[in-house]
Amino acid sequence: MSTLFVEPFGGIAGDMFLAALLDLGDPRFTFADLEGLARELLGDECRLARSRVRRGTVEAELLEVHTAETDDPPARHLADLLALVEGAPLAPASRVRAGDAFRRIAEAEARVHGTSVEEVHFHEVGAVDSIVDVCGAAFALERLGVERVVTSPPLLGAGTVRCAHGEMPVPAPGTAELLRGRPALAGGGPGERTTPTGAALLVAWADSFDPPGAFTARALGYGAGHREFPQGPPNLLRVQLGEVADGGTARATAWLLEFNLDDTGGEQVGFCVQELRTAGALEAWTAPVAMKKDRPGVVVTALCRAERRADLERVAFAHTPTLGVRWTRCERTECEREALEVELDGHAARVVVRRRPGEAGAPALADLAPEYDDVARLARALGRPFAGVERALLARAAEVLGLGELGAHGDSGGRGHRGGSGGPGRTAQPGGRGESCGHGARGGSGERGDSGERGGR
Average pLDDT estimate for 449-453? 37
Indicate if the pLDDT at residue 439 is higher than 70.
no
23-40: per-residue pLDDT in tens? 999 999 999 999 999 888
- When pLDDT is averaged across residues 305-314 and rounded to a whole number, the result is 87
What is the number of other CB atoms lying within 10 angstroms of the CB of residue 260? 16
What pLDDT, in 10s, does the model give residues 128-178? 778 889 999 999 999 999 988 999 999 999 998 887 667 889 999 989 999
The beta strands (E) that lie in 118-275 are given as: 148-151, 157-158, 160-163, 166-169, 191-192, 206-208, 215-224, 236-244, 250-261
The confidence score (pLDDT) of residue 382 equals 95
Residue 288 has pLDDT above 80, yes or no: yes
Instruction: Tell me if 41 sits within 8 A of 274, measured CB to CB.
Output: no
Nearest to 389 by CA among 343, 455, 441: 343
Residue ranges in 324-365 assigned as alpha helix (H): none
CATH 2.40.30.170 is right for the domain spanning 250-334: no
pLDDT in tens, 201-229: 999 999 889 888 778 999 999 999 999 99
Rounded CA-CA distance 121/351 in Å is 44
CA atoms lying within 13 Å on the CB side of residue 227: 17
Q: Classify residue 182 by its DSSP letter.
A: S
**pLDDT of 279 strictly over 80:** yes
What amino acid occupies position 37?
A: L
User: For 28, what's the count of Cα atoms within 13 Å in the CB-facing half-sphere?
Assistant: 12
Residue 120 and residue 109: Cα distance in Å, rounded?
7
Pairing of strands 236-244, 2-7: antiparallel
309/59 Cα distance (integer angstroms): 37
pLDDT for 443 beyond 80: no
* pLDDT 10s digits, 70-97: 666 666 788 888 888 888 888 888 888 8
**Residue range 318-353, pLDDT digits in tens:** 999 999 999 998 888 888 888 889 999 999 999 999
| Pairing label, strands 148-151, 206-208 | parallel
% of the chain at pLDDT higher than 70: 84
Please give the backbone phi and psi of residue 28, each rounded to the nearest 5 degrees, phi first. -75, -20
Strands 250-261 vs 336-344: parallel, antiparallel or unpaired: unpaired
Q: Where are the domains of the chain?
A: 2-248, 250-334, 336-457
Predicted local distance difference test score (pLDDT) of residue 126: 52
Phi, psi of 46 (to 5 degrees): -115, 135
CB atoms within 10 A of CB 78: 23
Mean pLDDT highest for which of 301-305, 409-413, 416-420? 301-305
* Residue 100, H or E segment: helix 92-113
For residue 245, name the pLDDT band (cuts at 50, 70, 90).
low
Quote the mean pLDDT of the chain: 83
